[in-house]
Structure 1
Amino acid sequence: MNFSWWFSKKIALGKNTKNNLSSIIIRIGQVAVALGIIVSLVTISTGVGARKAIKSKLADFNGHITIKNYNSNNSLNSDSLSIKQAFYPEFKQIPDIEHVQAIANKSGVIRTAENFSGVVFKGVGTDYDTVRFQNFLVKGSFPKINNDSILNDVVLSQKIADELKLDIDSSFVMYFIRDESKPVYRRFNVKGIYKSDIKNFDDIVMLGDIKHVQNLNKWDSTTVGSFELFVKDVEDIERVSGEVAQNIPYNLLSEGASDSFAQINEWITIFDKNIVIIVVIMLFVVIINMVMVLLILILERTQSIGLLKAFGATNWRVRTLFIYYAIFIMLPGLIAGNVIGLGLLLIQKYFKIIKLPAENYYISVAPVYLDIPTIVLLNVGAIIICAIVLLLPSYMISKITPAKAINFR
């Protein structure tokens, strides 16, 4: 058995440490460790959770990857594109892509008796992933689009519906411009109402039957505006987008959700920076406290150090003994920090107590993402880093001689 490990455990767990002068300092060190772990766990879990939640919202609503004409302009209206592509309806060359759907956009104006609003009609077909869209629905249902007939049911955002005073089963007229001729209009029925908490979508997007867009643009049933692709893991969008670009014709463009919403994506990266900064600060606080604890323990047990050296213990053995001692002191703080931190995160995860202003954060509830490997790495990393850093203050043990230490008062 390792002597330093065994002896440090005896000291740390022995009753003689309960009532000495260093007990207060030890408790302060343990509290600092616990607070450091709590703050780090909450920061990582909520920060990563927010990043994933916002990315998933952006991607799930508008596709993880979009394939469109290379010459597509910045207009809200889609350019024409043949649906007869090698990657449709299944992108067999890339296993990470789990779904492909065709869509087409057409801008227009909704007019009611009291108000009007400019919107983009997003036409979707029978291949549209309505199950994924269920997360956004707050009222009603998604229209049951079929290939046999054109459907007049649509889904509006909560914001547009409120502004125009529309609700489920309401009807309205929407005007479209076609080939510089007189405006044409279509009457639609509100089948469902959604809320994404993302201004880019909630302000203008309305979903309905793609056949309306095809008719308005004088396209046949084999012509669409673009394709939306969904990958298995939202964190792989950029990598898979690059692979898609290598597997589509030269006249088509592959664009990931991160590129489509560059400003929002840059804002999301702030989470990663904040996570790193906060974890580093908390780790620094823990290290400073543990260094202070170790120095006080060394001063308090100077006579014991002298006796150990007198019995033949080397400087390195005594140093490792005190480093192990400090680690044993850390453990209660680590355990308490994990229990409290994970408890708070689980409460938020299942009861959603903390709310967020959606207009600022794109999400209405503080999300929690618990990643076991990351939690384990945080704890193990804290112990290892502290053990390495504590090597420096433990060097003062080498300066203690047996004769002076035994006479130390």
Structure 2
Amino acid sequence: MLRRLYFELFVALRYLRGAQGREEGRRFLRFITYIAIGGVTVGVAALLLALSIVHGFSREIEAKITGFGAHIQVENLRDAPLSDAAWMETALQHMPGVVSVRPVIQEFVLIRRGRREVDGVALWGSPTLPEYLQQHLVAGTARFTPDSLGRPGLIIGRQLAEQLGLKVGDLVTLFSMRRLPSSVRPRVRVRQFYVAGLYETLLADFDQLYVFTSLDAARALLEYGPDEVTRFDLTLQNVQDALHIARQIEDHFGLPVIARTIYEVFRNLFAWVRLQESIIPLVISIIIIVAAFNMLATLLMVILEKAREIGILASMGASRRRLQRMYLILGLLTGLVGTALGELLALSLALLQQKFGIIPLPAEAYYMRTAPIALQTVDFILVAVVTVGLCGLASLIPARIAARMNPIQVIRFH
């Protein structure tokens, strides 16, 4: 098979490396050949970078959200505390696929720094600060250790701290107006905290809303019972099993206990990410389609410029099938070279972005300061196969035209 294709491959390589037109425009044909290869290169590089950024964006958003809310949240359908928390925690830890269980007490409170610096926040009590937030601590400590006067530590978002004019070590007052089941009216409860640390995830809706303290401090302020929690946050071995495990939990405990996956809790954010994942690659793919049509035009130009050579080859015994294969191979080689250069360019730019962050993003819109990159081997393979396939399809028309040329008329009129 290789021997049969040797002639076609040899001629195609000669055209690809040193294609020249007639004497009055020798360099033009070489130029448009480079343009065709460049078009494929740019299209492949743009598509791979778009895919890498979208995958990276999806991964980063998921990591930020699960950093706050784990993979599954188990809570009460009636918007009331879960009782028998110790028993439920033990039972959840023995569920298949569950790595860790974190009890959480969460209620809305008021935070006050002075007479005018007042804001509404969600107080989040847990045994320790979630690990993701520990990694994004920008000041202070991740511990809730009380100070010398017994005031518990509070960890807040940097944006909230800037709004209230707070820094590490400052004192704040929290007001809770949670109505207890035994009381008719809500009773105001007040407690003083000190700012132990500041975190920043660039998720503005989260950084400005959630403040963290110890489980005991939250229980005391909100007057939860000793065996009550708002919910349990579960981390799983595989997030893909979240929906299945959530349904198992609901079947095991029954109502009013419900289990929601992180994708259900933050449905809007994930819908926005999926929208970008579906639209951006589709739009960028048009570049490759345009490059394939550009290559079709280039091959037609090569046929017009090389019509005399085609006639000579046909008169020397080259069959129509051989001529067709020759231009088909030329199109495939153009696609292969452009794809290889495009993937190399995309990989180089992606590595530069990972190391230096050369593509900035507005944090208030995208929740991160630079475009994230997630390289996936399957993207490179799939883009290469599709691109070379499109180039091969685009080569069929010029190849058929070259095969149908009459050698006698071509030689006579060229």
Say whether the fold is shared (TM-score over 0.5).
Answer: yes
How many angstroms does 1:373 deviate by?
A: 2.2
Partner of 2:334: 329
Pairwise mapping of residues 235-254 of structure 1 onto structure 2 (< 5 A)? 236=240, 239-248=241-250, 249-251=253-255, 252-254=257-259
Residue of 66, 71, 74 corresponding to 1:59: 66
Contact kept? 1:65, 1:255, Cα under 8 Å: yes
Aligned with residue 383 of structure 2, among 367, 378, 384: 378
Q: 1:172·1:188 contact (CA, 8 Å) conserved in 2?
A: yes
Instruction: Report the CA distance between 1:309 and its aligned residue.
Output: 4.0
Q: Would the aligned equivalents of 1:178 and 1:216 in 2 still touch at CA under 8 Å?
A: no
Counterpart residue identity of residue 367, structure 2: Y
Partner of 1:121: 123
Q: Deviations over 1:17-65 (max 9, x none)?
A: 2543421110110111111122112211112211221122112122222
Give yes or no for the alignment of 1:360 onto 2:365: yes
1:5-404 to 2 correspondence within 5 Å?
5-14=5-14, 17-20=18-21, 21=26, 22-72=29-79, 79-83=81-85, 84-85=87-88, 88=91, 90-94=93-97, 97-113=98-114, 114-126=116-128, 130-143=130-143, 152-179=152-179, 180-232=185-237, 236=240, 239-248=241-250, 249-251=253-255, 252-310=257-315, 312-404=317-409
Q: Contact 2:202 / 2:367 at 8 angstroms: preserved in 1?
A: yes
Q: 1:181 to 1:254 in 2, by over 3 A?
A: closer
Q: Match for residue 75 of structure 1?
A: none
8 Å contact kept, 1:108–1:176: yes
Q: Displacement of 1:314 after TM fit?
A: 4.1
Structure with the higher fraction of residues in helix conformation: 2
Q: Match of 2:62, as an amino acid?
A: K
Counterpart-to-counterpart distance in 2, 1:296 and 1:247: 66
1:109 alignment partner, SS class: strand
The answer to whether the 8 A contact 2:335-2:387 is kept is no
Q: What CA distance in whole angstroms lies between the structure 1 residues aligned with 2:273 and 2:135?
A: 21
State the shift of 1:185 in Å.
0.8
- The question of whether the paired residues in 1 share the 8 Å contact of 2:156 and 2:195 is answered with yes
Report the residue type matching 2:166 in the other structure: L
Using the TM superposition, give the Cα deviation of residue 344 of structure 1 relative to its aligned residue in structure 2, in angstroms. Answer: 1.6
The corresponding residue for 1:2 is 2
Q: Give the Å deviation of 1:190.
A: 1.0
Structure 2 counterpart SS, 1:219: coil
Q: Say whether the 8 Å CA contact 1:105–1:225 is kept in structure 2.
A: yes
Cα distance between partner residues in 2 of 1:117 and 1:109:
6
Shift, 1:89, TM fit = 5.5
Against the structure 1 CA distance between its residues 192 and 291, is the aligned structure 2 distance closer, same or farther, given a 3 Å change threshold?
Answer: same
In structure 1, runs of 5+ residues without a counterpart are 73-77
How far does the alpha carbon of each residue in 1:169-226 deviate from its partner, in whole angstroms, 9 at most, with x for none? 1121111124335411111111110112223212221011112332344434332111
CA distance in 1, matches of 2:260, 2:107: 20
Rounded Cα–Cα distance in structure 2 between residues aligned with 1:144 and 1:63 = 20
Per-residue CA deviations over 1:309-346 (Å, capped at 9, x if unaligned) read 44554433322221111222333333332232222221
Query: Structure 2: which amino acid aligns with 1:331?
Result: L
| AA at the equivalent of 1:315 | R
- The question of whether the paired residues in 1 share the 8 Å contact of 2:120 and 2:209 is answered with yes
CA contact (8 A) 2:189 2:222 kept: no
CA spacing shift, 1:231–1:403, aligned 2, 3 Å: farther
Cα separation, partners in 2 of 1:165 and 1:266, compared to 1, 3 Å: same
Asked if structure 2 preserves the Cα contact closer than 8 Å seen for 1:54 and 1:363, the reply is no
Query: How many residues get paired?
Result: 394
Aligned partner of 2:182 in structure 1 is none
Q: Distance in 1 between matches of 2:91 and 2:4?
A: 66
The percent identity for this pair of structures is 23
Please state whether the residue corresponding to 1:169 is helix, strand or coil: coil
Contact 2:123-2:211 within 8 A present in 1 as well = yes
Cα distance in 1 for partners of 2:83, 2:313 equals 82
Aligned-residue CA RMSD (Å): 2.6
Alignment TM-score, normalising by the size of structure 1: 0.87
Task: Please give the TM-score of this superposition, normalised by the length of structure 2.
Answer: 0.86
- The residue type paired with residue 121 of structure 2 is V
Which range moved further: 328-337 or 205-214? 328-337
The offset of 1:390, in angstroms, is 2.3
Distance (whole Å) between structure 2 residues aligned to residue 141 and residue 88 of structure 1: 32
1:210-243 per-position Cα deviation (integer Å, ceiling 9, x unaligned): 1233234443433211111223455x2xx52233
The answer for unaligned runs of 5 or more in structure 2 is 180-184
Conserved 8 A contact 2:89-2:101: no
Secondary structure at the aligned position of 1:68 is classed as strand
Q: Which amino acid aligns with 1:109?
A: L
